[in-house]
Amino acid sequence: MVEERFDAVVIGSGLGGLTAAALVARAGRRVLVLERNPGIGGAATVYRHGALTIEASLHALDGLDPQDPKTPLFAALGLDHGLDYVEPAELYEVRGGPVGAPFTLPAGPEAALSACIARFPRHENALRRYIDAVLAVRSGATVLTAHMDEPGWWLRHLPEAATRLWPLIRHARATVGDVLRGLFGADEAVKCALAAALPYYHDDPERMLFLAYAVAQGSFLAGGGHYLRGGSRTLSAQLAARVEEAGGRIETDREAFHLVVDRQRIAGVAHRRRGGNDVRKALAPVVFGNAAPAVLAGMLPEAWQGPFAAPYARRPISVSLWTVALGLSEPAARFGLRAYETILLPSWMTTLADYRQATAVLADPDGDRLPPMILADYGRIDSGLNEGPPHLVTLCGMDRLANWDGLDEATARRRRESWMDRLVAALDAEFPGLARAVTQREMATATTMQAYLNTPGGAVYGFAPETLLRSPATAVPGLYLASAWAAGGGYTGAMLGGAMAARLALRGG
């Protein structure tokens, strides 16, 4: 067996893995990145089917303002230049369900507050408190993230730290449902308008930590949303370039299958060409796991599997997603889409808590319920994906692997086709004429997510955001989580997870 020595090995080339690899490589360490798929980036990629170029996952990056922890991270990675952003004026438009007539939430705290007060004037004071709370939690989390492993900083800045962290302490155990109920009582319209984007994080407001929600939504409110011109692949490509420019190596179609432990710490990774042999061993005192903890546990020697897995055993995994990509012969705006991002709530949803029923809807293609869904009209912005027809519109919503378990491929295909028929018909009812413009369509489900991302249940956001975050360090010295499973879901969570892991490893923690 061929053996090579490195300072660090990264299992997986998602954003968290690439972030850790780039930071460690730029610190002068020799790094190897192993990716089981033919291409890098995990969910942060773009692909072409037929005449349509399709964004795999990105709707918008949050923040990118001075308080965003990604701002210093991007500078450290050399990404503070070279990425081209498109910023829609609004965060989203939501319509249907308890909200009723379309409501647009603009970016910027003052603009958002004004729009909310105009629509829900009787809640003016509560809306001001809501915006203040979200931004205060986000500010506190920024301080915590920046200095969490610097004891000296906390001693030198104790008064400031106490003030900034108080919102985190105050809301430490509160859920999204707790906070919104305390502010708005039983008014489900305002709650659904403010938390329409809940499916980006969780399916249940009564279980999602308000802290996790406020950090993400506060970042969108303060800094806006940003699409990467050319698609999410540009971010993955830039990160990969930073790894290689610093002397690191990235190998695709390489499957890690065994974690080597020697003298009570990680010692390397055995890997092979996917679907073949060519087994090699990469020896290293540090390994970053960009894969799910459940996957990493199966690679460890049996004696280490229990201690490694124990801290994660009671943490529920996040939801999965279904997505539909539509190619339109005409721009979607001609049929009445008014925003880059539109959230459609079905008529059966009467409360924000009804989101928790949405994950099971796809199990019954013949039922009378439609799922809530989020539309992204990439043709509305200068996305750099499709210059002309077809114009890309994507739909997505929450899914569970249980909706597709036990189906043979033919049955699953029929169910996907049935759902695409129903979803396009629902769009046509909301935006008359859109159905006749559909020239191409395809659907991915929780099964797709599981196969491509290699996550339990097809989870797309790591662990469900119901508990406070843990350290990226694991029970195996030298083995770190570098992904959304360490710091939370989304592009920001994945990259911060990789950054936290790299920082710990470089400090020998």
> Could you report the per-residue pLDDT of 258-310, keeping only the tens digit for each?
999 999 999 999 999 988 789 999 999 999 999 999 999 999 999 999 999 99
Q: Name residue 344's amino acid.
A: L
> Could you report the per-residue pLDDT of 402-421, keeping only the tens digit for each?
999 999 999 999 999 999 99
> Could you report the per-residue pLDDT of 245-264, keeping only the tens digit for each?
999 999 999 999 999 999 99
Residue 155's pLDDT is 56
Distance between the two ends of the chain, CA-based, in angstroms?
31
Query: CB count, 10 Å around CB of 281?
Result: 16
Whether the per-residue pLDDT at 150 is higher than 70: the answer is no
Contact 300, 281 (CB under 8 A): no
pLDDT above 70 coverage of the chain, percent: 96
State whether residue 394 is helix, strand or coil.
Answer: strand
Contact 94, 79 (CB under 8 A): no
Whether the per-residue pLDDT at 198 is higher than 80: the answer is yes
Q: Name residue 114's amino acid.
A: S
> Which token pair is 354?
């009804």
d(CA 488, CA 108): 24
Contact 209, 466 (CB under 8 A): yes
Residue 248's pLDDT is 99
Residue 156's pLDDT is 66
Whether the per-residue pLDDT at 68 is higher than 60: the answer is yes
Query: Which top CATH class is 2-58+232-315+463-506?
Result: alpha beta
d(CA 461, CA 463): 6
**489, burial (CB in 10 Å: exposed 0-12, middle 13-18, buried 19+):** buried
Contact 141, 168 (CB under 8 A): yes
Residue 166's pLDDT is 80
